[in-house]
Structure 1
């Protein structure tokens, strides 16, 4: 039904921050930019180590970045890392910092295993119960990080051009998740999702956001060379690209191999596309983000090089 063939989970008990530390360090080292220039670290996944302190604190300590830095968590469902990109980009444009990294890790195991245990133990389970939990069963583990810097520090010349953000909070109750001790006594999170309504409301919002993004960037559909979407499932991808009038050939789907990895999903797809030479110099790239709430963030990139100069 979803198109998902496989996915991955981190080992039981692994905290997202421990993986984010490795991911952030790798991103910083790959960038070729000296750590001295990094003045911000944002941890932006749904999953965090604890309510406080910010998971970003442990990640920052592990990276060896300087102390006069902005260090914080940002949470906005599946859009966290894209929101983190915007925060860093705006601070760079304002001259407040020269480089920063946004990172996030979704663990997923507790949600999936807790959901399965609840469904199997219910003596009165109904078709509707399964439908409400279906989205939870598509979740997988993953991690991603993005480095942003000013033009002078850039080793590759790739540019974040801008984009648009739209919201329709009348649909905020379509997907709700957390640890509810009244419904679950095992401490594992649960998520209740009206998947069908969320699909159609999300794509409707995405369509409006895409029109605003094109106006902002002075793009037409014909200007777009590649797209990367939030990796939810086969039906979502098909309807989204149809409504935006974008060819599936432009997309780089990864949900089949990794499932829905939350806020890490779209950046992971972009990273894998880079590794597999999906991009060529001067590609205009559209990042098409949608998150529960409902919110949509769409960004435009101009790609120049995978290798540092």
Structure 2
């Protein structure tokens, strides 16, 4: 995929108010740790995550997404009437029906002519949303559009802790598939994109590539059980291996599509799963880890919000400057991967 007229305008993000450390979660799991003789600090040591953020109880994904969307819209200098397209791309959603996008659309006061829908693809949803919007801009169907995501991890983490405390049959081996759920955090992000013919920001979406490796779609699966609790089971080691394998295929396709080489890319903003994942990913792709901007230690894995909020915070902190190239990399359970190139 290549683009000639797609601009990035502005990001907006919202961090939940409550900081929950890995030590806090281990304290809740103290009976399990004691019974299985697990060492304190194991969660942070395994993941590299010191903390993650949680919303106030009862916060809906649409409410979180709207907070970020409002900030992105203000930063863009556009009005609600200017937005022709809205997609909500988070794993979390308010309900099965109607689309979460309908609640965000109403909250932001967007026009009746604005096309809205949800896009769901696990942690890769936001980047998929960028591709959908970019295609519509390139075709001249949309002048300005917005992608938003609001992840609410509280229920998943709470249910996981309760299940682990209640399961007397757990062993050091059988507890492993649940640990990935304890790395999840909450957050919200939004991005306004537009047609450079309407307004040229100088921040161009150049193109990208995608790859699917769906024979491994059983490695990370989640949903609600019979007690209506949200739970997830992850083969973290194999998921890491196959995810990196898929990202490597995507990287090769990205290089061919864009004509970029690794030395020309100043900054990488990646979907973050864990410290070991980042190290192995950059080693496999033979990329410089010093060029990878991370928020993982303090935000954890925020699902579809991870890669874009990391880019938003990196730009805010001066990690990407005018004229430099950046690459956004996402890997979603399933397994599939998307890499997008931006000239800032």
TM exceeds 0.5?
yes
Instruction: Work out whether residues 31 and 155 of structure 1, in 8 Å CA contact, stay in contact via their aligned partners in 2.
Output: no
Instruction: Work out whether residues 273 and 279 of structure 1, in 8 Å CA contact, stay in contact via their aligned partners in 2.
Output: yes
**Alignment partner of 2:93 out of 36, 45, 48:** 48
In the alignment, structure 1 residue 179 sits paired with structure 2 residue 220? no
Instruction: Work out whether residues 57 and 71 of structure 1, in 8 Å CA contact, stay in contact via their aligned partners in 2.
Output: yes
Partner of residue 96, structure 1: 141
Instruction: Work out whether residues 32 and 155 of structure 1, in 8 Å CA contact, stay in contact via their aligned partners in 2.
Output: no
Instruction: Work out whether residues 315 and 321 of structure 2, in 8 Å CA contact, stay in contact via their aligned partners in 1.
Output: no
**Alignment partner of 1:31 out of 76, 81, 91:** 76
Task: Measure the CA separation in 1 of the matches of 2:255 and 2:79.
Answer: 35
Cα distance, 1:266 vs. partner? 0.5
Task: Measure the CA separation in 2 of the matches of 1:2 and 1:141.
Answer: 16
Deviations 1:46-81 (A, max 9, x none): 000000000000100111111011110110000001
Partner of residue 192, structure 2: 147
Partner of residue 201, structure 1: 242
State how 1:285-296 maps to structure 2 within 5 Å.
285-296=326-337
Instruction: Work out whether residues 133 and 193 of structure 1, in 8 Å CA contact, stay in contact via their aligned partners in 2.
Output: yes
State how 1:1-309 maps to structure 2 within 5 Å.
1-154=46-199, 156-181=201-226, 185=227, 187-303=228-344
SS across alignment from 1:8: strand
Instruction: Work out whether residues 33 and 153 of structure 1, in 8 Å CA contact, stay in contact via their aligned partners in 2.
Output: no
SS across alignment from 1:49: coil
Cα distance, 1:155 vs. partner? 5.5
Structure 2: segments with no counterpart, 5+ residues: 1-45
Structure 1: segments with no counterpart, 5+ residues: 304-309
Task: Measure the CA separation in 2 of the matches of 1:207 and 1:13.
Answer: 39
Cα distance, 1:37 vs. partner? 2.2
Deviations 1:180-239 (A, max 9, x none): 21xxx2x22100100000000000110110010011000111111110111111000000
Task: Measure the CA separation in 1 of the matches of 2:275 and 2:122.
Answer: 20
Task: Measure the CA separation in 2 of the matches of 1:12 and 1:154.
Answer: 40
SS across alignment from 2:105: helix
Partner of residue 21, structure 2: none
Instruction: Work out whether residues 107 and 140 of structure 1, in 8 Å CA contact, stay in contact via their aligned partners in 2.
Output: yes
Task: Measure the CA separation in 1 of the matches of 2:116 and 2:186.
Answer: 24
Deviates more, 1:40-49 or 1:217-226: 217-226
Deviations 1:117-156 (A, max 9, x none): 1001111112232111111010001111111100033353
* TM-score, normalised by the number of residues in structure 2: 0.85
* TM-score, normalised by the number of residues in structure 1: 0.95
